[in-house]
Amino acid sequence: MDPAALRRAALRGFLTAVGLAAACALGLGLVAATPQGAAAWASLRGRLGLGSLAAAFGLISLAFVAMGHRWRALLPPGDRPPALGLTALVLAGLLLNYAIPGPMGELGAAWLAHRRYGLRTADALAAGVGARLVGLAMAVSLACGAALAGAVPAGPDWQRSLILGAGALGLVTLLGFLIGFWPSLWAAPLHRAAARLPGRLGVRATAAVDAAAFTLSALVRRGPRAWISAAVWSLAGHLAVTAGIAVAVWGLGAAPALLPLLFVYATSTAGAVLLFALPGSQVGWDALFGGLLVGVAGLLPEDALVVVALVRAQQLSFMGIGAAVVAWMLRPKRSAPLPDPPSQT
């Protein structure tokens, strides 16, 4: 990966984040200027508790640490850097995801792990993709479990939407695990297709397919302990965010049950996979999350807006750390000073 291209992508991601924050602030200002918005803001001002919002911000932030541990659990046993260092690279990957939709964040984080810790880029990328799949599977499981426990309001419309959504997310999760856990299903056909490409392109494509299949096979052979550890860290991250959301909602004076909040967050997180490759997917996630907070958890629209803004503000603020990480790791290296010439006297 070209460091200059990565630097440009990081700058683009940072500017996108700043632009998104400015657009959100402008939108909130315009809404507050309407009579309905002014009344909602007056109601919120009397209920906003800075202490509860700060506590919620801290709890949600723990999810990034859990993501670093989740990634570390799937790396080769002899090549596991400190979890906090990997957490910083996760933040850098989040920044890159704002710049380019799709798997740019995982690829960039893997390359930075290679640059910083000497990991093979293929190992770091495979572990990152595996960690993402574990997180998706955990989110789907939590959403389905909460729904079965009664988190979703009764009614044919909700039931139909839940069945369709759960089916789509389950299919995506199953497809991802089939690709990751059984490389033999796709390696040989892709290798034959790549071999038909002309010249050097065919050579590079077949080498990439073989390398991906080999790396994923090695990832599968990490053993159940590594995958269980990744699943536990994933669960911890999801529960930390859910607890942060609950603290924020309770700080606003509302009292929803925990199960609906867990369902709302897990469904939004799992549903984000369907928006993963689309530009502006962050806005789509905000809309899905806010709508479910109102429709399932029963929050007032203004309360849901505060919670969505808190979660987005937490991400945007931590992306500043990601920008600093990318800038530090891609800084030009100073050449050593030349020695003084020998004296002629």
If you average pLDDT over every residue of the chain, what do you get? 77
Domain ranges of the chain: 3-329
* 192 burial level (CB within 10 Å; 0-12, 13-18, 19+): exposed
Q: What is the pLDDT of residues 59-107, one digit of tens each?
A: 999 999 999 999 999 998 888 889 888 998 888 888 777 666 555 677 7
Q: What is the pLDDT of residues 176-189, one digit of tens each?
A: 666 666 777 777 78
Nearest to 190 by CA among 176, 179, 199: 179
CB 279 within 8 A of CB 100: no
Report for 197-206, 210-219, 228-237, 263-272: range of highest mean pLDDT:
228-237
pTM score, whole prediction: 0.77
Q: What does the alpha-carbon distance between residue 173 and residue 180 come to, in Å, rounded to a whole number?
A: 11
Q: What is the pLDDT of residues 100-129, one digit of tens each?
A: 655 567 777 888 888 888 888 878 888 888
Q: What does the alpha-carbon distance between residue 143 and residue 198 come to, in Å, rounded to a whole number?
A: 46
